[in-house]
Amino acid sequence: MDCQSLVQKCAAEGYSVVPELEAQEVCQSYGITCPPAALTADKEECLRAAKTMGFPVVIKIFSKQIIHKSDVGGVVTGIKDSDELVKAYDQLMNTVKNKCSQAVIEGVLVQKQMPKGIEVVIGGLQNEQFGPVVMFGMGGIYVEVFKDVSFRLAPLDKEEALRQIKETKVYKLLQGVRGEQSCDIDALCEVIVNTGRLVAALPDIKELDFNPIFCYPDGCCVVDARLVVK
């Protein structure tokens, strides 16, 4: 199924946000790297998936009614082995059922926990006046605090993406500070360019949020991809 049909199918099925596995499928179609992930129906499936992709892992509740998973205890990170996974799975289910008793739980998403990198955010939206727009800036929990962001019209090329990155303060961190290795800025430019292509090509995506993106000396990975449909 092509990406446009996939997004329209999600909207027709009542999703306001594209489910994570489908969101990753869209990302990968545009050359945007995401961590390995699998949707599981029960604890045994969850264990098998975690062992296949290798610990540490993250687990997330999967429900059409729950958009902000962390707010209801629907995300557990840093799970290092099978024993921890069993406890985390039970904790996740109990917490979510207590806080969101009306939500229909469709499963649990298991995702490979990626090593920490410099955290950035890339966003996109359909602006009524200007059309598709791409945002770049400092990511993680600080995005709302520092508001260190820069905007460009989409689509854009790598040279323009580099100028966009250089407009932000996080660019200094990406270059490496206090003896740290510099990040792969060329790969990051490519993610921005590919995000611009995605936003421009899929008008049924009202906005998107890739946060955090971990930047490494040898590439980038979109840890959390959120695609909001019209």
**Angle between helical axes of 3-12 and 20-29 (0-180°, round to 10):** 160
For tokens 């099978």, name the residue. Answer: 82
* Alpha-carbon gap, residue 109 to 107, rounded angstroms: 7
Annotated domain spans of the chain: 3-33+115-229, 37-112
The pTM (predicted TM-score) of the whole model is 0.91
DSSP at 41: S
* Alpha-carbon gap, residue 227 to 149, rounded angstroms: 19
Asked if residues 223 and 149 have their Cβ atoms less than 8 Å apart, the reply is no
| Average pLDDT of the residues in 153-175 | 97
For the stretch 134-158, pLDDT in tens is: 999 998 776 776 678 999 999 999 9
Token readout for 33 is 């790297």
Identify any residues that bridge with 126 across adjacent strands, giving them in sequence order. 132
pLDDT at 66: 87
* Alpha-carbon gap, residue 62 to 93, rounded angstroms: 11
Helix then strand then coil, % of the chain, to nearest 5: 40, 30, 30
Q: How many CB atoms lie within 10 A of CB 134?
A: 28
Q: How many CB atoms lie within 10 A of CB 53?
A: 16
For the stretch 35-94, pLDDT in tens is: 999 999 999 999 999 999 999 999 999 998 887 888 899 999 999 999 999 999 999 999
Question: Which residues are CB-contacts of 84 (< 8 A; sequence separation ≥ 6)?
Answer: none
* Alpha-carbon gap, residue 136 to 210, rounded angstroms: 10
For the stretch 82-136, pLDDT in tens is: 999 999 999 999 999 999 988 899 999 999 999 999 999 999 999 999 999 999 9
Q: Which class is domain 37-112?
A: alpha beta
* Alpha-carbon gap, residue 19 to 30, rounded angstroms: 17
Q: Domain 3-33+115-229: which topology?
A: D-amino Acid Aminotransferase; Chain A, domain 1 (3.30.470)
- Residue 192 confidence class, pLDDT cut points 50, 70, 90: very high
Cis amide leading into 155 (omega within 30): yes
